[in-house]
Copies of this chain bind each other. A is one copy, B any other.
Amino acid sequence: MQTLTVALENRSYPIHIGPGLIARGELVAARLPQPRAVLVSNTTVAPLYAERLTHALRAQGVAVLAVTVPDGEAHKDWRTLNAILDALLENRSERGTALIALGGGVVGDLTGFAAAVYQRGVPFIQVPTTLLAQVDSAVGGKTAINHPLGKNMVGAFYQPLAVVSDTDTLATLPPRELAAGLAEVIKYGAIHDPAFFDWLEANVARLVAREAEALTWAIERSCAIKAGIVAGDERETGERALLNYGHTFGHAIETATGYGQWLHGEAVAAGMVLAARLSVRMGLLAASEASRIESLLARAGLPVTAPALGVERYLELMGHDKKVRGGRIRFILLRRLGEALPTAEVPPDTLAAVLREDTAPGAVPARPSVHA
Contact = CB atoms under 8 A, between A and B. Distances in A.
Nearest to A96: B325
A325 B123 CA distance: 14
B85 A157 contact: no
Contact of A142 (B86, B120, B320, B323): B120
A92 interface: yes
A82 interface: yes
Contacts of A142: 120
Interface string A13-46: 0000000000000000000001000000000000
25 contacts: A34-B326, A85-B153, A85-B154, A86-B149, A89-B149, A89-B150, A90-B149, A92-B320, A92-B324, A92-B327, A94-B324, A94-B325, A95-B323, A96-B326, A117-B117, A117-B154, A117-B156, A118-B153, A118-B154, A119-B154, A119-B155, A120-B142, A120-B144, A120-B156, A121-B157
A156 B116 contact: yes
Q: State the oligomeric state as a number of copies.
A: 2
Given A89-B320, A95-B322, A147-B89, A155 B82 contact: no
Contacts of A322: 95, 119-120
A319 interface: yes
Contact of A119 (B121, B143, B153, B326): B153
A319 to B, nearest CB: 6
A221 interface: no
Which 9 A-B residue pairings sit nearest by Cβ, starting from the closest?
A89-B149, A119-B322, A120-B155, A117-B154, A94-B324, A120-B157, A120-B156, A89-B147, A95-B322
